[in-house]
Amino acid sequence: MFDKNTPDLADPALLVPGHLNLYSCPMESGTERTPLRDFSLEELVAYFTSLGEKPFRARQVFQWMWQKGATEFFQMTNISRSLIQRLETIATLDRTEVVFISQSPASETRKLLLRLQDGKTVETVLIPEESRVTVCLSSQVGCGLDCDFCATGKMGLLRNLTAGEITDQLRQVMAISSRPVTNIVFMGMGEPFHNYSAVLKAADMMHDELAYGTGARRITISTSGLVPQIKQFAEENRRYKLAVSLNATVDEQRNVLMPINKKWNISALMDACKYYTEKTHNMLTLEYVLMAGINDTLQDARRLVQIARPVFCKVNVIPYNDINGTYRRPADEKIEAFLQELSKGNFPLTVRWSRGGDIDAACGQLATQTKKMQPGFNPIET
Ligand code: SF4
């Protein structure tokens, strides 16, 4: 094992209570009701077929759950009364509940705190900009990877989210957004590739025309560097975009910032990145969170050029959001100098001037508030 905090995905403690997979669901024979939001469209069709219903009924219910935002079966007006009554006894439309929404005073960014069925909470961020509206989704409650600069990592991993819980974050955000959501990023709480199947299933659900029809190239999955899953993602030739958080240019430094590096070091990670781009012909994004006095020197920039140049990638620099911890955002002139040096690499270069840092909404910094919001905490509605 590479790190004591790395979750063992075979651990039964990580299974989600109350959420059953299709083939173990008790349907009408048992007492537990089946949560329909956890089903992909294909699984929902199989479920309805097992009930003796036609596939088109499953498609109607799928569309009601997601695109039309139904939260109760009786709202599904084109479904027969008898089927509604039957579904009410054997199935659920379990969903997240909004605990509160905070609005950034400096931007349009809004952060939703959502309560899950078991009382745990996750956060989802809505980031409207001039030309796009982006949603940042969580994939786990907490995270087991313990990146040193990340508040979520300090929580440890509580559990994986189901595909339904992930997709429901988008439903909740769409309900409060005045503009259509154009982009989805898996950069909230959790390491998406540690919850690979649920994340990919959720992405497929969001991409489905009967749900939200979000274009595959408008969905980005961001990983801290899980090499086997990067290779799996390449081999499955998934069309969603891939981002990799690099954040350091030497192993000694990355071992401290991101302990996952002790398992798969920079060289192994970059080999996996090259494998991905060569296999899929898709460009990937290398994310680099810039932290004062840690990884912001000109030498760091030069090493980053050497690392990125052989890969079909763009580099996205993210000046760190201060959260009163050990790490700090570099001064503007330091950031400018770093970017200037990096621009010599001749690869596409972007800077994410973070929106939402003022509401703790930056990636990996969501948990500071969330930790206080587990059951028993009484938040103030904003
Ligand atoms: S940065 Fe991402 S992978 Fe690292 S601890 Fe935070 S949530 Fe987990």
Quick: pLDDT tens for 221-235: 999 999 999 999 999
**Residues 59/45, Cβ–Cβ less than 8 Å:** yes
Is residue 382 in some structural domain?
no
Q: Kindly give the distance from the C-alpha atom of residue 150 to the centroid of ligand 1, in angstroms, as a whole number.
A: 6
Residue 23 has pLDDT above 50, yes or no: no
pLDDT at 179: 95
**How far is the CA of 87 from the CAs of 17, 24, 77, 132, 324, in angstroms?**
21, 18, 14, 38, 49
Lookup result for tokens 């060569």: 278
Same domain, 112 and 50: no
Write down which residue in 92, 123, 142 finishes a domain.
92
Is residue 6 in some structural domain?
no
Ligand 1: nearest atom to the Cα of 150: 6
**Residues 376/119, Cβ–Cβ less than 8 Å:** no
Same domain, 214 and 280: yes
Is residue 241 in some structural domain?
yes
Alpha carbons 129 and 109: distance in angstroms, whole number: 9
Of all protein residues, the one whose alpha carbon is nearest to atom 3 of ligand 1 is: 191
- The string of pLDDT tens digits covering residues 323-359 is 667 889 999 999 999 999 999 999 999 998 754 444 4
pLDDT at 323: 61
Catalytic sites, residue numbers: 123, 363
Is residue 327 in some structural domain?
yes
Is residue 7 in some structural domain?
no
Is residue 379 in some structural domain?
no
The crossing angle, in degrees rounded to 10, of helices 266-280 and 227-235 is 10
**How many Cβ atoms are within 10 Å of 217's Cβ, its own excluded?**
11
Taking residues 368-377, report their average pLDDT: 34
Q: Kindly give the distance from the C-alpha atom of residue 361 to the centroid of ligand 1, in angstroms, as a whole number.
A: 14
Q: How confident is the model at residue 18 (pLDDT cuts 50, 70, 90)?
A: very low
Taking residues 232-255, report their average pLDDT: 97
- Both tokens assigned to 166: 């992930």
Q: How many residues does the chain have?
A: 382
**Which CATH number belongs to the domain containing residue 264 in this structure?**
3.20.20.70
**Ramachandran assignment for 152, one of left (phi > 0), alpha (psi -120 to 50 degrees), beta (any other):** alpha
pLDDT at 2: 30
Dihedral over alpha carbons 255, 141, 182, 207 (to 10 degrees): 100
C-alpha 155 chain-centroid distance: 16
Task: Give the range of the structural domain holding residue 24, as residue numbers without chain letter.
Answer: 12-92
Lookup result for tokens 């006095």: 293
DSSP 84: H
Alpha carbons 57 and 49: distance in angstroms, whole number: 9
Lookup result for tokens 């998406």: 192
Lookup result for tokens 């219910």: 61
Alpha carbons 132 and 363: distance in angstroms, whole number: 18
**How many Cβ atoms are within 10 Å of 323's Cβ, its own excluded?**
18
Of all protein residues, the one whose alpha carbon is nearest to atom 1 of ligand 1 is: 364
Same domain, 179 and 226: yes
Pocket test for ligand 1, best of 145, 187, 366 (most atoms within 8 A of CB): 145
Write down which residue in 92, 108, 133 finishes a domain.
92
Taking residues 150-176, report their average pLDDT: 95
Write down which residue in 92, 125, 153 finishes a domain.
92
Angle at 360 between CA 357 and CA 363, to 5 degrees: 80
Same domain, 129 and 67: no
Same domain, 180 and 253: yes
- Both tokens assigned to 366: 């969501």
Residue 378 has pLDDT above 80, yes or no: no
Q: How confident is the model at residue 381 (pLDDT cuts 50, 70, 90)?
A: very low
**Residues 367/360, Cβ–Cβ less than 8 Å:** no
Alpha carbons 9 and 141: distance in angstroms, whole number: 14
**How far is the CA of 372 from the CAs of 138, 287, 367, in angstroms?**
17, 29, 9
**Residues 184/218, Cβ–Cβ less than 8 Å:** yes
Same domain, 39 and 126: no
Quote the pTM value.
0.86
Same domain, 223 and 323: yes
pLDDT at 27: 39
Is residue 187 in some structural domain?
yes
pLDDT at 352: 83
pLDDT at 152: 87
More confident residue, 12 or 55: 55
Residue 13 has pLDDT above 80, yes or no: no
Lowest mean pLDDT of 27-41, 134-148, 228-242, name the range. Answer: 27-41
Same domain, 154 and 267: yes
DSSP 26: -
Q: Kindly give the distance from the C-alpha atom of residue 87 to the centroid of ligand 1, in angstroms, as a whole number.
A: 39
Q: Which residues line ligand 1 (CB under 6 A)?
A: 143, 145-147, 150, 152-153, 189-191, 224, 364
Alpha carbons 203 and 170: distance in angstroms, whole number: 11
Of all protein residues, the one whose alpha carbon is nearest to atom 7 of ligand 1 is: 190
Burial (0-12, 13-18, 19+ Cβ within 10 Å), 344: exposed
Alpha carbons 46 and 21: distance in angstroms, whole number: 12
- The string of pLDDT tens digits covering residues 174-225 is 999 999 999 999 999 999 999 999 999 999 999 999 999 999 999 999 999 9
Is residue 103 in some structural domain?
yes
**Which CATH number belongs to the domain containing residue 25 in this structure?**
1.10.150.530
Same domain, 259 and 165: yes
**Residues 160/102, Cβ–Cβ less than 8 Å:** no
Same domain, 68 and 130: no
* N-to-C CA span, the chain: 43
Same domain, 244 and 313: yes
Domains in the chain: how many in total? 2
Same domain, 233 and 346: yes
Q: Kindly give the distance from the C-alpha atom of residue 82 to the centroid of ligand 1, in angstroms, as a whole number.
A: 47
Dihedral of alpha carbons 137, 142, 147, 151, sign: positive
Half-sphere exposure of 145 (CA within 13 A, CB side): 28
